[in-house]
Amino acid sequence: MSESDSNISLAFVLTQDINIDTQAVLSAAEQMGMKMVALEHDKLGPLAFSVEGLGELYVMAVDAPHPDAAKMPNGPLSPNPEVVATGTCHLILTAMYLPGDNQTKDFHLAKLTAAVIRGSSAVAAMLFPGTVLYGAELFADIASQAQGLPIEICVDLTMAGEPNDRMSFVTHGLTRYGREEFYITCSRSGQGALDFVFMMVRWMINDPNKNLPTGDTIGRTAEERITVQRVPHPGGAEGEVVRLDVP
């Protein structure tokens, strides 16, 4: 399925078994203000739900590990590989006809995924098209409390080593929301870099008219000057990214 297929939204939940507590899913959805009812379905097919104002949700239980889980890169909010390995089954969530743009769709899909997590033996979860997995409880807590796009679980981060005792964070998913991706480097021994990354992502999402001209400077304080650069994607993907070198 391509991202352009706007009638379909997908999410994946890694679980320890294929059992789903329908009533727990409905209760979790209600606690998040969603009116959801279970629909009749073929016992061999996916569970089906109708969600008032949000279309329909189908949950297919697969009695096998997610085929890509062990190969996915880790992000700062990813569970340990040992936890991921306990996900011997997985659920495929298909939401039909979610309203709005990608931000709005992902906001609703994250909450629907959180409801399913609450009714299953979930260990990890992610939205499509995602790059990393998130711990199930962390995902559900962030999604259930979100008042807008929960960027911590909708804009993925990967980490890599850099020369001279530095490291980097690269965002994955900002282009889905019409913004440029970030490539932010920092000292391995420094503090506050991850908070800075999330601050920049949130700024770009919450202020769609904000631009960062190449050569301008930004900072976390009035004194700090971080030069805005544009460089090729460090992972080899097409296009440029905004590079910021945090002291």
DSSP string spanning 173-204?
SGGGGT---EEEEEETT-SSHHHHHHHHHHHH
| 3-state secondary structure at position 112 | helix
Q: Check pLDDT > 50 for residue 182.
A: yes
Helix axes 102-118, 136-145, angle to 10 degrees: 130
- Under DSSP, the state recorded for 90 is E
What pLDDT was estimated at residue 3? 45
Structure tokens at 85: 């390995």
Residue with the bigger pLDDT between 44 and 80: it is: 80
Region 178-204: mean pLDDT is: 93
pTM: 0.93
Q: Check pLDDT > 80 for residue 43.
A: no
Decide: 220 and 192 in contact? Cβ < 8 Å: yes
Structure tokens at 108: 């609703």
The backbone torsions φ and ψ at residue 14, rounded to the nearest 5 degrees and listed phi first, read -85, 130
Residue with the bigger pLDDT between 225 and 7: it is: 225
What pLDDT was estimated at residue 189? 86
What pLDDT was estimated at residue 115? 98
> Tokens 């960062």, residue?
212
Structure tokens at 51: 């969600």
Position 155 confidence tier, pLDDT thresholds 50, 70, 90:
very high
Residue 215 CA to residue 203 CA, distance in Å, equals 19
Q: For all residues of the chain together, what is the average pLDDT?
A: 94
